[in-house]
Structure formats: C-alpha cells, structure tokens
C-alpha cells in the first residue's frame, strides 16, 4: 500500500537528485564563460508560483534561504527585498537547480546543507533526521532545568545530527555528553558537527543499535548518568500515509517509525534508563501528541519502583508532548 | 570703531578666561564660602536626613567633598604661622619648622587638587543607571552610513574597554556594510557622565570607497545620548504575551518538516505587536522578537517618563547639518579634531582612535574635565552665600 503511494514521489526524488548532481558540470562551464550579472529579483521570476504549485509552504522564506545560500551570505544579512543583489551565471545555475530540487520537495535543510538549531549551526546530511522547531523548545526547557546544576553527566539516545546534545554543551559548560546512534552516517555527522563547533572535548558518540538487554555498547555497560535525553522515533506506523513528502521520501524512516503505538523505541529507552540512570537521575523525552498520558499509565503499571512520572510539558504550539521521568 | 568692537569682544573673552581659572583657585573667597556652605549643609543633613532617601543621596555625594575639606583644614592647622617662625630664636629649630612647613605645603597642594576633583565630580549632579546610545547616519548618503558603522564599532569597543554592559535593541544596516541607525542600551551608572560629551554631530572628511572620481567628501553621523531614568522598567510576563507562528494547526514534530521560523508576538495589555523572521531558527526569532518588544515598550515608557527627550535629542543632533559638528575625522591628514577643546584638540593616528580604546578615553576625560570646570565656574558665579541671600531678601 505504502509503496504505491510512494512511487510517484520516488520519481520526484530521482529528478531532484539528478537536478542536484548535474550541478558540477554546469557550474564548471559557466564559471569559465560567465561574467554577466543578473539581478536576483529578475532571477526569481515565476519561481514563487512554481513552488506554490508544488505544494511548498512559506515560499518567501524558502526563497530567501536559497538566495543567501547561493550567494554564500549569512541569512540575517540578506535584505528581504533582495534589492541590489546580483547573481553571476554560475550562481544563477545553482539557484535554479536548488529551486528545482525544492519543487521536488527535497527538504530545504538538505538543499542548503546546513541548518540553525538554537544558537548553533549544524551540517545536515541526506539520510540524517533534521531537527524540528519543537525540539528547540524541548532543549530550551531542559537547559532551563539544568542551568544551575554543578556537573551533569548526560546521555542522549539516538542523537541524529547531534542537535540536542551539542546545543546543551554549547549552552552549559558543566555538561559532559555521551550519545548513541544506530545510523553510521548520523554518527559520523554528529561527530563532524561536534568538531566544527569545537565541542569534541566534552562529547563522545557511539554507533550502537539499542536492543533488549543490550542497551549500551560494551564499553559503556556499567556507566550511570545524571540525565538522559531522547527524541525517539514516535510516528505510529499507520500514520505514515499522512506524512509530508519531505519526510516520507527524503528522511530516514528509522528515525521516525515508533511502531503501532509510537512508543516501541521509547519503551526501550525506559528500560535503558532503569539500568543506566543513577537514582534521582532524570529522563526527558520528546514524544507525539497523545503520548504523555499514555506514558504516565505505563509508568504506573509497568515501572513501579523503577521509574516515576514527574511532569509533562507543552511545546510552543500548546501541545502536550514533553515528559520528565525520574529514576527511583 | 568696528575694530575696537572686535577687540573688545576678544578682550572680554580673555578676561573671562582669566577670571575662570582664578575662580577655581582655593584662594578665591567665593569658593571658600561655597565650600563652607557645603560643609554646613553636610552636617545639617547628617542630623536631619533620617529616613529620607533623596537627602541620603545628597549626603553621600557631599561626603567625599567635605571629607577632603576637613583633611585640608587639618593640614592647614599643622603649618606653623609666619610670626611664630620669625619669633623662634633657635636657628636649628627654625630650619626644622621650615622643613616641616614645606612638607605640609606639599601635602596641602595635593589635597587641594583632590578636593577640586571631588568638587568637580559633584558638579555632575545626576546619576542615571543606564542610557540609550543612538548612532544615526546624517548627511552624505551611503558614505555617511559607512561612517556611522565605523562610529558604531568604535563605541562598542569603547564600551568593552570600559567594561560596561550594553545591549543592542535596534539596528538597521545597508547592503554595502553601512549603518542607518542603531540603538544601544548601556547599563552602567558611570556611563552617562562619560558619554554625554560624545553626543552631537561627528563629521568625516575623506575619499569614500563609493566615490569613483577620487574627490574628497564631507559627511556626518550623529550620536545621541538619552539618560534612562531609574524608574523605567519593562517586565514581560508570559500571561501578557500571545506568541504566534505561521503553523497554527496541523500535525507537528516528526510528522512534518516545515521550516516554521517566523514569529509574531502580541503584547496583550498594550496591543503592541512585533514580528521577526531574521533568523532561520524559530527559537532565535522568538528571542529577538521578545527583545524588540521589550525595546518598544521601553521606548513608549521613556517617551511618557521624560517629556524633554525629544528636545534633548534635537539639541544633541543639531539639524544634522555639516557645520554644527563637535568633532572631525579627517582621513587624508590622519587626524581627529575636537572642536570644543580650545588648545590641543587635534590628535593624530586616526585608526588608533577609531579602535575605541585608550585614545578615545583620554579625549573624553579631557572633555569631561573642561565641562565640569566650566559648570563649576558657572555655579560659583550664580551662587550666593546663604547670608548674603538672606540680607538681600531683607532689603
């Protein structure tokens, strides 16, 4: 079923990837010949409508992101009306190629190869989950709670690009972070981001797939932490048909699939926390819409005497989605 | 006839200057009387100030002056009078007394300097916990904006040099790296007494980078310093805020991948709204929007708190004409000239000056001293000893 739904989208994806890979050739030839400048406002001609037709929302913002990326300028230094900005022909070719990809619903963050998360800028990679705006709110909450703590030994389960751990490290010098991640590409990307941000002294990341009774890599099997954070996959399997093309076609579904109730991976994290959290240590999770009450029930029924439900929190859209648990 | 008139003007000017240096000497009777009145006020306050905070404030301001006056008097008492010195028969003893007197005279001179310094500080009669520092490009188009940016850089590094906390709350740039205007909040009780002398029109003379034919241009930028009274506070509570983003409904989190970054905040009590999409991160935009809202609310409060604000700004900025300047930065001659300093107002090494460190600090210190002196002289001229005033009233 899902496969049929995805087929047209997959062709889209192929065309997008082709559009992107064509680039190297065109760039090379145009830089050799190109000296003509074209105003950005002229180059924009018609693209906004094309993006809208393709179902892309927030087109102004998309265009501005791509323009500043093509011009290699910081986003906040580009004027909203693009006045006096010009492309040379190589840049124009890049610009059109990127927009072609965007029309094929390739995520904006993949096209420009980086994204801002709180105060840091992270590199993105095609198969690695892109952090969401809600996760910023989640991390802000956690940072608020640990601002005055003296030393925090933290573990992140499934770190992806490293967004959560690295922004915690960036904001709080007293944090020491360890992360585990099942995808090799993400593990490498998180490490690269840590190095780019100069945070590698306080960060380590292990490529490891969490399984029952083998929650942590061998080298860390007796470690205890003050804090565990995680944004585990929480999309229910039958919700996959409703996802945006950016998500279902371009993102790593392993980072999204939370099984039939969306808590398959979360349950593994609960079990991990029972073993690897010191008594009084906290587990913070970002989950889906209906999950916090469910987690509360699960704690009462199955984790009595091991984990305790402390509180749940709303994200910035007033959806109750974050939970705090405590090791008893 | 005309010549005489001109001479007269010059002459009176000279005379005034003589008088002014004189009036700040401790031999001046009026200054003596003024100091004595301060001393009496101080002791009267010490008895009466109980519980009144503004009186306490005055008391603490007077304290260093009176303290140093008392020290001065104690030293004076130590000096052996001339008659006694003459009366002394013993040669050795007299030499000893003479020597002692010399030492005291030295100390006395130092003490006098200290006292004058304290007195001058007293002339700055207000303290502001913070101020709003505004840089604005004036006449001269793009070039003026480039210059405004240079001034902005100079002052922010000066704030850092002085260790003052500052926060920027409005900032408008141009594409080629210029600055239209910027507002900074400088939070330091000391800052106002230093920066007030920087307010006015600054003029630059150079061949702009935007100039193709190599002609020299004259452009301006202005600095405004608006003291922020202590009672202006803006406190935002979550209850009063409505925070909106573009995505109002629909799924969130891992289900979608929208780059939902624009934020709009409405301050419910005032209805004031701010929007922000200048960053890619939503959280950053929210922080920026909150800051802007805070600045807007503060500006509103300031406008009501200080009716004279507009007048202050106007008088400091002049009409942004090229000739009402306080200082000129001439790149061709590598010099800075402050037009308010009579002698030696020209400094060289422009780039060092623009770095906003020691050089700028020294110049401001000089301006501060001159300003305080003239203020004190003015004060003494209009001041009347309480006794005289009393008599005048009787008549």
DSSP SS3 for A190: helix
pLDDT given at position A26: 44
The C-alpha atoms of residue A260 and residue A212 are separated, in whole angstroms, by: 18
Please indicate, yes or no, whether residues A150 and A287 belong to a single structural domain of this protein.
yes
Chain A residues with CB-CB distance to B246 below 8 A: 57-58
CA A249, CA A11: separation in Å to the nearest integer? Answer: 10
User: What's the pLDDT at B16?
Assistant: 44
pLDDT in tens, B28-71: 777 788 888 888 888 888 887 676 777 777 778 788 888 888 88
- Examine the domain organization and report whether A12 and A104 are in the same domain: yes
C-alpha distance from residue B76 to each of B24, B36, B38, B79 (Å): 19, 15, 19, 6
pLDDT at B39: 86
Kindly state whether residues A63 and A83 are assigned to the same domain. Answer: yes
Contacts of A289 in chain B (CB under 8 A): 252-253
Pick A271 or B380 by higher pLDDT: A271
Contact flag B254-A233 (C-beta cutoff 8 Å): yes
pLDDT digits (tens, 9 = 90+) for A80-93: 888 788 999 999 99
Confidence (pLDDT) at A195: 96
pLDDT tens track for B70-119: 888 888 888 877 777 778 788 888 888 888 888 888 888 888 888 887 77
Residues A62 and A131 in one domain: no
Count of CB pairs separated by less than 8 Å, A with B: 101
Most confident of A1-10, A115-124, B121-130, B183-192: A115-124
Per-residue pLDDT, averaged over A235-250, amounts to: 88
- At B317, the pLDDT band (50, 70, 90 cuts) reads low
Chain A CB within 8 Å of residue B282 CB: yes
B204 vs B213: CA distance, rounded Å: 18
Predicted local distance difference test score (pLDDT) of residue A29: 41
**List of chain B residues whose C-beta atoms are within 8 Å of the C-beta of residue A117:** 281
Confidence of residue B149 (pLDDT cuts 50, 70, 90): very high
| B246 in contact with A, Cβ within 8 Å | yes
Residue A21 near residue A106, CB atoms below 8 Å: no
pLDDT at B20 over 50: no
Q: Where residue B292 falls among pLDDT bands split at 50, 70, 90?
A: confident
- All residues of chain B having their beta carbon less than 8 Å from the beta carbon of residue A164 are none
Cβ contact (<8 Å) for A137 and B260?
Answer: no
**pLDDT surpassing 60 at residue A207:** yes
A155 Cα to chain B: minimum distance (Å): 21
Q: Of A131, A325, A127, which is closest to residue A229 (Cα–Cα)?
A: A325
**Taking a C-beta distance cutoff of 8 angstroms, is the pair B356, B161 a contact?**
yes
Rounded to the nearest angstrom, the minimum Cα separation between A93 and chain B is 23
The reply to whether B173 touches chain A by the CB within 8 Å rule is: yes
Range A42-47 contact pairs with CB under 8 angstroms and sequence separation of 24 or more: A43/A87, A43/A92, A43/A95, A43/A96, A44/A82, A47/A99
At residue B93, the pLDDT reads 83
pLDDT tens figures, A122-145: 999 988 998 899 999 999 999 999
- Residue A24's pLDDT is 46
Residue at a domain's end among A60, A79, A108: A108
What is the average pLDDT across A215-221? 93
- On average, the pLDDT of chain B sits at 78
Residue of B nearest to A241 (CA): B255
* Least confident span in A57-66, A162-171, A182-191: A57-66
Q: Cα distance from B275 to chain A (closest Cα, Å)?
A: 13
Asked if residue A231 and residue A164 are part of one domain, the reply reads yes
A255 and A319 inside one domain: yes
- Contact across the interface for A255 and B256, Cβ inside 8 Å: no
The reply to whether B238 touches chain A by the CB within 8 Å rule is no
Are A181 and A148 contacting, i.e. CB atoms less than 8 angstroms apart?
no
Name residue B186's beta-bridge partners. B131, B166
Answer for the pair B42, B63: CB distance below 8 angstroms, yes or no: yes
Residue A285, C-beta contacts closer than 8 angstroms, at least 6 positions apart: A229, A230, A231, A232, A266, A269, A295, A322, A323, A325
Q: Enumerate the domain spans of chain B.
A: 2-123, 130-229+325-378, 238-248+259-305
Task: Look up residue B271 and give its DSSP letter.
Answer: T
pTM higher than 0.90: no
- At B314 the pLDDT is 57
Last residue of a domain, one of A90, A108, A126: A108
Residue B237, phi then psi, degrees to nearest 5: -110, 150
Domain that holds residue A91: 2-108
Element containing residue A87 per DSSP (H, E): strand A86-88
Residues of B in contact with A58 (CB under 8 A): 246, 258-260, 262
pLDDT for the residue numbered A28: 41
pLDDT higher than 70, residue B318? no
Considering the domain architecture, whether residues A175 and A219 belong to the same structural domain is answered as yes
Identify all chain B residues contacting A247, using CB atoms and an 8 Å cutoff: 254-257
Share of chain B above pLDDT 70, in %: 78
- Greater pLDDT, B142 or B312: B142
Domain boundary residue, one of A54, A83, A108: A108
The alpha carbons of chain A give a radius of gyration, in whole angstroms, of: 22
A57 neighbourhood in chain B, CB within 8 Å: 246, 258
Average pLDDT rounded to a whole number, residues B136-144: 87
Nearest CA in chain B to A252: B254
Query: What CATH code is assigned to B238-248+259-305?
Result: 3.30.160.20
pLDDT reported for residue B127: 66
Give the model's pLDDT for residue B305. 56
Residue B22 has pLDDT above 60, yes or no: no
Whether A276 and A156 map to the same domain: the answer is yes
- A316 compared with B167, residue with greater pLDDT: A316
Same fold, B130-229+325-378 and B238-248+259-305: no
Locate the chain A residue with the closest alpha carbon to B178.
A77
Q: How many domains does chain A have?
A: 2
Q: Yes or no: say if B279 and A116 are a contact pair by the CB < 8 Å rule.
A: yes
* Contact state of A132 with B247 under an 8 Å Cβ cutoff: no
Q: Is B210 on the interface with A (CB under 8 A)?
A: no
| Selected residue of A51, A59, A132 to mutate for chain B interface (largest B Cβ count, 10 A) | A132
Are A189 and A293 members of one domain?
yes
Q: Does A288 share its domain with A178? A: yes
| From A61, A116, A256, residue closest to B262, measured CB to CB | A61
Domain at B130-229+325-378: CATH architecture: 2-Layer Sandwich (3.30)
Residues A92 and A119 in one domain: no
pLDDT digits (tens, 9 = 90+) for B220-260: 998 888 776 655 667 788 888 988 887 656 677 888 887 88
d(CA B55, CA B328): 43
Contact criterion met (CB below 8 Å) for B353 and B336: yes
pLDDT of residue B26: 66
Q: What value does the mean pLDDT of chain A take?
A: 89
Cα distance between residue A308 and residue B20, in whole Å: 79
**With an 8 Å Cβ cutoff, are A57 and B258 in contact?**
yes
Q: Are residues A293 and A221 in the same domain?
A: yes
The DSSP symbol for A54 reads T
For residue B379, is it left (φ>0), alpha (ψ between -120 and 50) or beta? alpha
């Amino acid at each position: 079923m899902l496969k049929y739904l995805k087929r047209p989208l997959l062709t889209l994806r192929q065309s997008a990837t082709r559009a992107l890979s064509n680039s190297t050739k065109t760039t090379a030839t145009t830089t050799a010949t190109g000296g003509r400048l074209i105003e950005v406002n002229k180059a924009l001609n018609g693209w906004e409508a094309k993006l809208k037709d393709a179902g892309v929302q927030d087109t102004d913002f998309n265009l501005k992101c791509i323009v500043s990326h093509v011009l290699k300028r910081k986003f906040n230094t580009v004027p909203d009306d693009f006045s006096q900005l010009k492309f040379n022909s190589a840049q124009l070719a890049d610009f059109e190629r990127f927009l072609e990809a965007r029309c094929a619903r390739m995520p904006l963050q993949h096209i420009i190869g980086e994204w801002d998360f709180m105060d840091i800028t992270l590199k993105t990679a095609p198969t690695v989950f892109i952090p969401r705006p809600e996760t910023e709110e989640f991390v802000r909450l956690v940072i608020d709670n640990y601002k005055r703590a003296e030393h925090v030994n933290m573990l992140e389960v499934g770190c992806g690009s490293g967004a959560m751990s690295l922004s915690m490290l960036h904001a709080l010098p007293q944090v020491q972070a360890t992360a585990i991640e099942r995808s090799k590409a993400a593990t490498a990307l998180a490490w690269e981001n840590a190095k780019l941000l100069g945070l590698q002294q306080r960060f380590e990341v292990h490529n490891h797939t969490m399984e029952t009774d083998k929650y942590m890599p061998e080298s860390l099997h007796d470690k205890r932490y003050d804090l565990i954070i995680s944004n585990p996959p929480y999309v229910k399997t039958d919700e996959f048909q409703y996802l945006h093309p950016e998500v279902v076609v371009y993102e790593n579904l392993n980072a999204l699939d939370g099984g039939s109730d969306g808590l398959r991976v979360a349950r593994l994290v609960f079990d991990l926390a029972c073993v690897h959290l010191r008594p009084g240590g906290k587990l913070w999770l970002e989950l889906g819409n209906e999950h916090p009450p469910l987690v509360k029930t699960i704690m009462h029924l199955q984790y009595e005497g091991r984990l305790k439900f402390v509180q749940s929190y709303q994200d910035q859209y007033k959806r109750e989605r974050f939970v705090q648990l405590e090791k008893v | 006839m005309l010549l005489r008139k001109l001479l007269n003007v010059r002459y009176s000017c000279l005379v005034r200057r003589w008088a002014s240096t004189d009036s700040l000497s401790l031999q001046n009777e009026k200054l003596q009387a003024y100091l004595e009145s301060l001393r009496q006020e101080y002791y009267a306050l010490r008895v009466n100030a109980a519980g009144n905070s503004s009186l306490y404030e005055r008391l603490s301001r007077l304290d260093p002056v009176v303290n140093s006056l008392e020290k001065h008097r104690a030293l004076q008492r130590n000096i052996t009078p001339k008659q006694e010195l003459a009366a002394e028969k013993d040669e050795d003893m007299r030499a000893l007394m003479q020597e002692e007197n010399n030492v005291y005279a030295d100390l006395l001179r130092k003490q006098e300097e200290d006292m004058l310094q304290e007195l001058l500080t007293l002339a700055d009669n207000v303290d502001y916990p913070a101020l709003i520092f505004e840089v604005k490009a004036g006449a001269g188009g793009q070039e003026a904006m480039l210059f405004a940016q240079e001034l902005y850089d100079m002052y922010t590094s000066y704030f850092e040099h002085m260790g003052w906390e500052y926060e920027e709350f409005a900032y408008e740039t141009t594409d080629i790296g210029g600055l239209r205007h910027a507002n900074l909040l400088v939070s330091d009780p000391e800052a106002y007494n230093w920066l007030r002398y920087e307010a006015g029109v600054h003029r630059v003379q150079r061949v702009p980078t935007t100039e193709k034919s190599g002609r020299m241009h004259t452009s301006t930028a202005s600095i405004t310093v608006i003291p922020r009274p202590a009672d202006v506070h803006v406190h935002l509570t979550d209850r009063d805020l409505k925070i909106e983003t573009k995505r109002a409904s629909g799924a969130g989190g891992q289900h979608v991948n929208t780059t939902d970054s624009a934020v709009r905040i409405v301050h419910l009590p005032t209805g004031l709204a701010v929007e922000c999409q200048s960053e890619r991160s939503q959280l950053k935009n929210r922080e920026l929007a909150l800051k802007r809202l805070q600045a807007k609310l503060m500006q509103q409060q300031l406008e009501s708190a200080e009716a004279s604000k507009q007048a202050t700004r106007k008088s400091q900025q002049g009409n942004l004409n090229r000739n009402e300047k306080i200082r000129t930065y001439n790149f061709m001659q590598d010099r800075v000239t402050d037009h308010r300093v009579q002698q030696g107002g020209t400094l060289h090494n422009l780039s060092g000056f623009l770095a906003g460190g020691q050089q700028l600090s020294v110049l401001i210190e000089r301006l501060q001293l001159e300003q305080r002196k003239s203020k004190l002289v003015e004060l003494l001229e209009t001041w009347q000893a309480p006794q005289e005033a009393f008599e005048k009233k009787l008549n």
